[in-house]
A and B are shown apart, each in its own frame.
Chain A
Amino acid sequence: NAGVTQTPKFRILKIGQSMTLQCTQDMNHNYMYWYRQDPGMGLKLIYYSVGAGITDKGEVPNGYNVSRSTTEDFPLRLELAAPSQTSVYFCASSYPPPARAYEQYFGPGTRLTVT
């Protein structure tokens, strides 16, 4: 199993540009998550999904959108990139409750710089 994969690994965007961060998992996990990690800070939840077709906002959703058309894929869309979105983005997945739902498996991250 590849686990959770993310593309791209690095990206530089100009202010106002848009992009999609890709996330795929091959563990048949129902739950998927997007986090951002700023230097010296804890992970902040952007969006999550409990299954195909179901998504909801996390703690910091502004400026982002998601979709979940399949169990495997959970892309994160940035519209009108801003410098405040410079961060490292992690996608994660987990089993649904009660089976180890809190053990989240993380991808390697995408480092995004907006200038």
Chain B
Amino acid sequence: GESVGLHLPTLSVQEGDNSIINCAYSNSASDYFIWYKQESGKGPQFIIDIRSNMDKRQGQRVTVLLNKTVKHLSLQIAATQPGDSAVYFCAEKRKGAGSYQLTFGKGTKLSVIP
């Protein structure tokens, strides 16, 4: 598979525990944020998004928290499973930018220990 996991921060979590993956974004004018999951050898897959007028959004087993004061985004995965092992990265869109103008973070590699 691709070597996208090299040189990335790594988070190791016991199966069944909750995972928290963090992302610091750069632009206070960003108004939309997305979390992607990238499994080894595959393309990124959309997980969840949040607009800047929200603090929290929940999906199936995932929650995204947005702290605009410190420009911080987090992805919480409940009851982490082996299938959650992947690289997770956030993307931000600046206010007024087009859909092609997403800025992607470098990612965090999540390893789930069975």
Are A and B interaction partners? yes
Question: When chains A and B are docked, how far (Å) is the Cα of A43 from the Cα of B87?
Answer: 13
Of chain B, the residue at the smallest CB distance from A47 is B100
Most buried by A among B41, B91, B100, B105: B100
Interface string of B10-42 (1 = CB under 8 A from A): 000000000000000000000010100000011
For chain A, give the interface size range. 20 to 34
Q: Is B3 on the interface with A (CB-CB < 8 A)?
A: yes
Say yes or no: A4 contacts B43, CB within 8 Å. yes
Of chain A, the residue at the smallest CB distance from B46 is A103
Interface string of A30-51 (1 = CB under 8 A from B): 0101000101111111001010
Interface residues, chain A, with chain B CB atoms under 8 Å away: 4, 31, 33, 37, 39-45, 48, 50, 56, 58, 88, 90, 92, 94, 96-97, 101-109, 111
Say yes or no: B105 contacts A31, CB within 8 Å. no
Q: Give 24 A-B contacts (CB < 8 Å), ordered by A residue.
A: A31-B99, A39-B4, A39-B6, A42-B105, A42-B106, A42-B107, A43-B91, A44-B104, A45-B102, A58-B100, A90-B44, A94-B99, A97-B99, A101-B99, A102-B32, A102-B49, A102-B93, A103-B49, A104-B44, A104-B99, A104-B102, A106-B43, A109-B42, A111-B2
